[in-house]
A and B are shown apart, each in its own frame.
Chain A
Amino acid sequence: MRKYKLLLVFALLLFVTLSTSCKKYLDLRPDKRIRVPSTVSDLQGLLDNANVMNKKAPTYDVLSSDEYFATDAIYQSFSPNQRNAYIWENYTYNYSNDWSLLYEGVYYSNVVLDGLNNIERTRENSSQWDNVKGSALVYRCISFLKAAWTFSKTYDKETAAQDPGISLRTSSDFNQDVERATVADTYSKIIGDLMVSIPLLPEKPVHVMRPSRQAAFGLLARTYLSMRIYDSCLKYAGLCLSVGDELVDYNSTDILTIYPFGRAVLNKEVIMNQQVGLNHYGPGTTMRVDSVLLATYHPNDLRKPVFFRTRPDGYQFKGPYSGTYGVTFTGLATDEMILTRAECNARAGRITEAMDDINNLLRMRYITGTFVELSASTAAEALVIILLERRKELYSRGLRWMDIKRLNKEGAGIVLSRTVGSTVFTLLPNENRYALPLPQDIILLTGIPQNPR
């Protein structure tokens, strides 16, 4: 009987020790690198993933606009989707694509924003907490804005409340169905979120990979420009430049090298870095630069040698602002803001302010001592100068597609055309096809409306 008792005690002891220590024992993380995000630093870590947040800008719009052309041999080497995008007929593409790239950044932002709901904002973590929240909002706005420019019609206040916009995903739960919002709702969401982010962000960031208040101002200026609301655009371009308006004197750059600003260096004009993914089909190295545009650079204009490099079959884009050869920079920089401010001033009839900005910019671009100041007698004349300089300065910065769309709305009448073999393809101003088609598999799966051909 003693033996039974002993055994009973032993069994009880075993059971008690096992069950009480069990919970703790099983709480060990299976992989030390992996954790459930529980601190603000964890969430910041996600936002610092530059490969997702900064280096995943799409190129579908670049392929469709008029900055590059493809020789027949280059066209031959394109994938079917690239070919169709080049001739504005891409209605049949599936995963993975520009749409999926854009929404990966949205998902990270949403995970961070949802994660913040579970982390208390305390006195100790407040500045980091605010920065994370503001940054996540800015990143999400960058994706939304690019998606709206690419996949929706140009903002037009007459029709914006009906025109289909994009999916405004604001939750990390992928089981949620999200419809296409209207263009009006899309832009108001972007503006609203950027407004929320402004007080949360530091004026200047730790590194230009991260968003800042200056970047939020710049994005607002971009947003309003694409909506053709020029007074608000002027306001935010001005606020952006008030934080910093430094320009690089191109005479100081090593213009002949393939890295005019240095390898992997983001020059001091950069407000926030965004660039096309390295593994994404980059038109920079594969395609050639539009020769009509090339002819407009003055021989003393250093931008031509800084931006381009000759190849046997034409000019190749170096992608200097991204610091990576041939890679398109789509982030914010002071030169863009100066040009934006100048355009808004010109449209408002303030010719002097507009031309001052242009001359200050170009002085830094020409060989020292050779630049002759430009002048304009009318606002319209000033606008022509500014828009041409905008094309020449902001070459392959992911803005041209938006520019063509909004300028055609202003009556610029830009007609795009492609020649492949002996076939000529044209895209007339304000055509439906300016809202590029959504991926076919998304349309089939969700039933959201496709953009009309």
Chain B
Amino acid sequence: MRSSYFLILTFFIQALSAQQTPNARLQGNVVNKNGNPIAGASISIGGYNSVTDSAGQFSIPAGPRDSLIITHSGYQRSALLLRNSKPITIHLVEQVKDLQDLTVYSTGYQSLPKERATGSFTQVDNSTLNLQVGTGIIDRLKGVTNGMLFENKTDNPTGYTIRGLSTINGPRAPLLVVDNFPYEGDITNINPNDVENITVLKDAAATSIWGSRAGNGVIVITTKRGKINQPLKIGFNSNILIAGKPDLSYLRPMSSKDYIGVERFLFDQGYYSNFENNPNFPALSPAVELMIKERDGLLSGAEVNTQLETLGGKDIRDDYTRYVYRNMLNQQYSLNLRGGGPGMSFYISGGYDHNKGNLENHFERITLNMTNTIQPVKNIRISTGMYYTINKTASGRSGYGTATVGSRPVPYLNLADVNGNPATLSNIYRQGFTDTAGGGRLLDWNYYPLDNWKHNKQSSLSRNLLANLSVNWQLIPGLSLDLLYQYQSGNTDTRNLQDINSFETRNLINTFSQLDHSTGVVTRAVPLGAVLTKGIGTSQIHNGRAQLNAGKKWGDHDIAVMAGSEIRHSNSGGSSFTGYGYNDDLLTIGIVDPVNPHPTYFGNSGYLDNSPYFSDNSNRFVSFYGNGAYTFREKYTLSGSARKDASNLFGLKTNDKWNPLWSAGASWNISGEDFYKISLLPYLKLRMTYGFSGNVDLSKSGVTTIGFYGNPDNQSNLNYAMIDQFYNPELRWEKVNTFNIGFDFASSGSIISGSIEFYKKRGLDLFGPAPIDYSAGIGSNTVIKNVADMKGHGWDINLQSKNLNGRFKWYSTLILNTNNSRTTAYYTSPGTTWGGTFGESITPVIGKPLYAIFSNPWAGLDPLTGDPRGLVNKQPSNDYYAIINGATSPDSLTYHGPSTPKFFGALGNNFSFKGLSLTVNITYKLDYFFRRTSISYSQLVDAGIGHSDYAERWQQPGDEDRTTIPSFVYPTDYNRDNFYALSEPTVSNGSHIRLQFVNLSYDREMPLSKGKTSSFTFYLNASNLGLIWKANKHGLDPDSPADLQPQKTYAIGFKASF
């Protein structure tokens, strides 16, 4: 593949240099359909450019067989091949007026022309999507999508939200739709090169079209199609994306020297004697082993100090960077053909991606796509489509954090010896035990952190098919019927092979080995060989839809109505099993006894489970929906939309299974009015929607349900069940009202255009955990009840400007979003105590944002002890129990602000000159807070997790003036650590500005023959370029305060179309 890449590159360079010396100048003029001259049209030929003057005339060096490209913002682009050098007249065809032009929103049910839309939509077009490079399509929405916030919150695993939340404990993920139906499964199955555009549905119109699953917004992905009577077009795109090794220095572990200091202290306190006495021989760190040797007189104090000194100078991150991490390399190739003849069109594409990650983990994707449309008779159009994806993943090396001692992340471990050979590590058992256990009769019990990955491999192979058939039947003029069917089938095989040389397998076999010391015979409950765990997951989804569309226009009236019904069945199943003593060469397997417990080498016992596991889940939905719009004099539009869904959820009586949703909207094209005279803004439109939706959580219901375990009880051998959901008769539906008002506008010549939108959301009876008297015994101290109300509002502002529009162009796009939410009611039980928050989950404080940061009030460090102090009866105190129990109202906490940005958005600047185009995209998040991690001494002692803040801790009186980090005390006090972790000093302002990506591309177009052009694009892209500005003084990226930052990536690519 690399050589072909080189060929293309060579060809490209030749194309650049192959400019002939012009021997003649071509004269000409450019006119519109009425013959009036067009000024300012740009003419390009090879590397030469010219612009028409006020008389529409131009002159450019050119001769026969040169190809000419004429562009003007108000007209369709034209290309022609010169036959001779005679002056020519070029007719340009006017483009439909800007903004009322080609934009068509695809809602998944219909294509809605922008001028008829009353709701809130954001469309990201193909060229914007192509500004970013990568494997996944959703990532390309970063920095370019109005109203969409990318952030990490523990209770929203998707990592992005559209206009904040309208539920507190309900599902948070926006609905993903590919073409006409919701997409289930991994969206990385869709190759970004096959995507034409993306429409984001943001307001009540979304839910009233898509049902309650759309409460968090809808992302409609429209794939590329051919067009009828379109000449064959071949497109090719290839790119390489690279990234260096992850920057581990961003992480803030405790220094090795400090770490050893703490270990020395604990050793002197006798902390490790419990470990030494433990019959399971738990692992101890190298430093502690040295201290034991010193105590036992096996090593001299001086010798131990020298060795500790050496360890103190080590940083395991260096080893990871040196021995484990590699550069990342992603390759992407795609090829597509599209075209159409009379009565038919097609789009065929193939894509191949190969990503090699920093840990030599692999991802491979092959996508094959074929869509056809035929029109056998004039009033029937039939489309078929097939989208097939094969995904393969394979695990790689073990990354930072995996080499531990007894799960303690000791910072000075060696991954390799002085010669770079893989080192051994006592990760679970003490070295003294692993060296001598079984006197050589057991398997090697050492762990090799650099090698183990070769013997413990996870891989997956998944195949996903999306097949669809749609029929559009024009019954009579103005009335058509759509019949759609889609089948989605997924199949994923996962496999984890831990061969006999993996630590995991050796450890398992040894653990279940019995050694007869007199005869030396080893009895093994687990046969020698690999441990193989295989899983198979399958899914099948059937979607059917029948929809009637009617439209009529008479006089000043225009009416468009559609109604339909939909049926959906999805089924997913799975099975998995574990085999022991597996031989991957011969495909033979051993057996274990799953019924009886087996003694362990340490004198305990355990079970070996190898029974298969099966699952089978089905969801069914039936929906009826309809919507309509009436437009009067092309100025006033009224629209309405309603939907009812039913599903096979448990415990819902049939009546409750039906979920009604509706929305209504109106728009007014103000600039169409006769009285409208503002020439600065020739286009101005007002639109608004209001809607109602409800939400019932799939997992909470009105009857008690039980679930049976797959395997019988070990002792009684009886199959048994657990309670899955409990009878919760008081639960009502969540209700959400949404209001949206917006203006679309454009100045003369679209120098400035955009939209300003304001929205309000009101949620009532929202679900939330409410504390209960757990004497009820449901296995939890909370139940889901309708506990909360919330309100939210915000602005979505999108401005586009053409700052310079000559030969050198400078266009800007500004996205400004605000989002404010607050809890307006929340039931809390009497006696609830309040404490600081991380802002990672919903804060139930009335009048405060849904995600808010509160702190325990801070009274400084105690000048005598370095204890963190809070307030009890307004006096400084280190009675943490009294502080925690005294906080009986949220007023006793310090409120900082929201943990999601109040203002966020992006600024994109595009500069272009001739074919050269540079885009710089900046994203920002402003006015919010985040909580930093700091040292927790309980964590340090109990789990060995340190933090660099330790170095800055209070150590002697006076230190309280320079630091807020408490002194180290032992025994540790969990309440003290907790108080500090959630106190005022660990909060920082999260505002920041980020350089999201820079894209540089060079386009070149050449006409091939009449009406056909070929274009080549060469592009460079750099993403995740880091922060430009941040409010916090701790060097932290507020988007990843405790983890690695997103890696800077660089891509180079080439695109061609013929």
Interface stretch (choices B526-534, B665-673, B698-706, B1004-1012) = B698-706
B908-949 toward A: CB 8 Å interface, digit per residue (1/0)?
A: 000000000000000000000000000000000000000000
CA distance A103 to B778 in the complex (A): 8
CA distance A174 to B730 in the complex (A): 10
For A26, the chain B residues whose CB sits under 8 A away are: 620, 622, 646-648, 654, 657
Q: Is the CB of B616 within 8 A of A264?
A: no
CA distance A115 to B723 in the complex (A): 12
Q: Is the CB of B776 within 8 A of A169?
A: yes
Q: Is the CB of B657 within 8 A of A49?
A: no
Q: Is B619 an interface residue (CB 8 A)?
A: yes
Q: Is the CB of B650 within 8 A of A311?
A: no
Which residues from 143 to 201 on chain A have a C-beta closer than 8 Å to any C-beta of chain B?
Answer: 167, 169, 172-178
Q: Is A31 an interface residue (CB 8 A)?
A: yes
Q: Is A33 an interface residue (CB 8 A)?
A: yes
For A115, the chain B residues whose CB sits under 8 A away are: 704
For A111, the chain B residues whose CB sits under 8 A away are: 704, 723, 726
B434 to chain A: closest CB distance in Å? 21
Q: Is the CB of A444 within 8 A of B831?
A: yes
Q: Is the CB of B715 within 8 A of A323?
A: yes
* A74: nearest chain-B partner, CB-CB: B274
Q: Which of A77, A100, A311 contacts B774 (CB 8 A)?
A: A100
A215 to chain B: closest CB distance in Å? 14
Q: Is A123 an interface residue (CB 8 A)?
A: no
Q: Is the CB of A25 within 8 A of B704?
A: no
Q: Is the CB of B721 within 8 A of A45?
A: yes
Q: Is B521 an interface residue (CB 8 A)?
A: no
Q: Is the CB of A42 within 8 A of B721?
A: yes
Q: Which of A27, A32, A96 contacts B615 (CB 8 A)?
A: A32
B594-618 toward A: CB 8 Å interface, digit per residue (1/0)?
A: 0011110001110000000001111
Q: Is A18 an interface residue (CB 8 A)?
A: yes
CA distance A377 to B647 in the complex (A): 78
* B277: nearest chain-A partner, CB-CB: A312
Q: Is B718 an interface residue (CB 8 A)?
A: yes
Q: Which of B596, B719, B772, B829 contacts A263 (CB 8 A)?
A: B596
Q: Is A22 an interface residue (CB 8 A)?
A: yes
Q: Is the CB of B703 within 8 A of A36?
A: yes
* B712: nearest chain-A partner, CB-CB: A48
Q: Is the CB of B620 within 8 A of A28?
A: yes
B937 to chain A: closest CB distance in Å? 15
CA distance A180 to B225 in the complex (A): 71
Q: Is A14 an interface residue (CB 8 A)?
A: yes
Q: Is the CB of A34 within 8 A of B650?
A: yes
Q: Is A107 an interface residue (CB 8 A)?
A: yes
Q: Is A50 an interface residue (CB 8 A)?
A: yes
A9 to chain B: closest CB distance in Å? 13
Q: Is B799 an interface residue (CB 8 A)?
A: no
For B618, the chain A residues whose CB sits under 8 A away are: 28-32
Q: Which of B548, B622, B714, B720 contacts A25 (CB 8 A)?
A: B622
Q: Is the CB of B475 within 8 A of A7?
A: yes
CA distance A313 to B274 in the complex (A): 10
Q: Is the CB of A174 within 8 A of B599?
A: no
* B772: nearest chain-A partner, CB-CB: A174
* A33: nearest chain-B partner, CB-CB: B707
B545-573 toward A: CB 8 Å interface, digit per residue (1/0)?
A: 01010000000000000000101000000
For B777, the chain A residues whose CB sits under 8 A away are: 100, 103-108, 110, 169, 174
A37-B706, A42-B721, A174-B778 known; A264+B548 contact, CB < 8 A: no
Q: Is the CB of B715 within 8 A of A46?
A: no
Q: Is B11 an interface residue (CB 8 A)?
A: no
CA distance A148 to B616 in the complex (A): 43
B265-281 toward A: CB 8 Å interface, digit per residue (1/0)?
A: 00000100110010100
For A311, the chain B residues whose CB sits under 8 A away are: 277, 279
Q: Is B830 an interface residue (CB 8 A)?
A: yes
A31-58 toward B: CB 8 Å interface, digit per residue (1/0)?
A: 1111111000010011011101000000
CA distance A6 to B939 in the complex (A): 74
For B776, the chain A residues whose CB sits under 8 A away are: 103, 107, 169, 174, 176
For B605, the chain A residues whose CB sits under 8 A away are: 259, 263-264, 324-325
A189 to chain B: closest CB distance in Å? 15
A114-140 toward B: CB 8 Å interface, digit per residue (1/0)?
A: 010000000000000000000000000
B624 to chain A: closest CB distance in Å? 8
Q: Is B128 an interface residue (CB 8 A)?
A: no
CA distance A169 to B777 in the complex (A): 9
B52 to chain A: closest CB distance in Å? 53
Q: Is B21 an interface residue (CB 8 A)?
A: no
A45-B721, A175-B729 known; A441+B771 contact, CB < 8 A: yes
Which residues from 289 to 309 on chain B have a C-beta closer than 8 Å to any C-beta of chain A?
Answer: none
Q: Which of B475, B716, B723 contacts A3 (CB 8 A)?
A: B475
Q: Is the CB of B708 within 8 A of A31?
A: no
Q: Is A422 an interface residue (CB 8 A)?
A: no
Q: Which of A18, A103, A106, A172 contacts B565 (CB 8 A)?
A: A18
Q: Is B476 an interface residue (CB 8 A)?
A: yes
CA distance A6 to B479 in the complex (A): 13
Q: Is A445 an interface residue (CB 8 A)?
A: yes
Q: Is B676 an interface residue (CB 8 A)?
A: no
A80-B974, A325-B604 known; A25+B620 contact, CB < 8 A: yes
Q: Is B585 an interface residue (CB 8 A)?
A: no
B600 to chain A: closest CB distance in Å? 9
For B703, the chain A residues whose CB sits under 8 A away are: 36
A225 to chain B: closest CB distance in Å? 26
CA distance A444 to B713 in the complex (A): 38
Q: Is B283 an interface residue (CB 8 A)?
A: no
A272 to chain B: closest CB distance in Å? 12
A128 to chain B: closest CB distance in Å? 13
Q: Is the CB of B704 within 8 A of A209?
A: no
Q: Is A73 an interface residue (CB 8 A)?
A: yes
Residue of A3, A4, A173 with most chain B CB atoms under a 10 A cut-off? A173
B833-856 toward A: CB 8 Å interface, digit per residue (1/0)?
A: 000000000000000000000000
CA distance A273 to B714 in the complex (A): 13
Q: Is B773 an interface residue (CB 8 A)?
A: yes
* A73: nearest chain-B partner, CB-CB: B274
For A446, the chain B residues whose CB sits under 8 A away are: 773
Which residues from 872 to 912 on chain B have a C-beta closer than 8 Å to any C-beta of chain A?
Answer: 881
For B476, the chain A residues whose CB sits under 8 A away are: 3-4
Q: Is the CB of A18 within 8 A of B567?
A: yes
CA distance A175 to B731 in the complex (A): 11
B829 to chain A: closest CB distance in Å? 5
Q: Is A402 an interface residue (CB 8 A)?
A: no
For A80, the chain B residues whose CB sits under 8 A away are: 974
Q: Is B435 an interface residue (CB 8 A)?
A: no
Q: Is B680 an interface residue (CB 8 A)?
A: no
For A176, the chain B residues whose CB sits under 8 A away are: 776
Q: Is the CB of B277 within 8 A of A313?
A: yes
Q: Which of A3, A15, A34, A52 contacts B724 (CB 8 A)?
A: A34
CA distance A263 to B599 in the complex (A): 8
For A313, the chain B residues whose CB sits under 8 A away are: 277
A-B contact pairs, 26 of them (CB 8 A): A3-B475, A22-B646, A25-B648, A30-B619, A31-B616, A35-B705, A35-B706, A45-B719, A46-B721, A48-B716, A48-B720, A52-B722, A100-B777, A105-B777, A107-B776, A108-B777, A167-B775, A174-B783, A175-B730, A175-B772, A209-B718, A264-B596, A323-B715, A444-B830, A445-B830, A445-B831
Besides A45-B708, A209-B718, A263-B597, 15 other A-B contacts (C-beta < 8 A): A7-B481, A22-B646, A28-B620, A34-B650, A46-B720, A99-B774, A99-B775, A100-B774, A169-B775, A174-B778, A175-B772, A206-B718, A258-B604, A264-B596, A444-B829
Q: Which residues of B come within 8 Å of A, CB atoms? A: 270, 273-274, 277, 279, 475-476, 479, 481, 546, 548, 565, 567, 596-599, 603-605, 615-620, 622, 646-651, 654, 657, 703-708, 710, 713-724, 726-727, 729-730, 771-779, 781, 783, 829-832, 881, 971, 974
A-B pairs with the 10 shortest C-beta distances? A444-B831, A107-B777, A174-B776, A45-B721, A103-B777, A32-B616, A95-B781, A48-B720, A209-B716, A207-B716
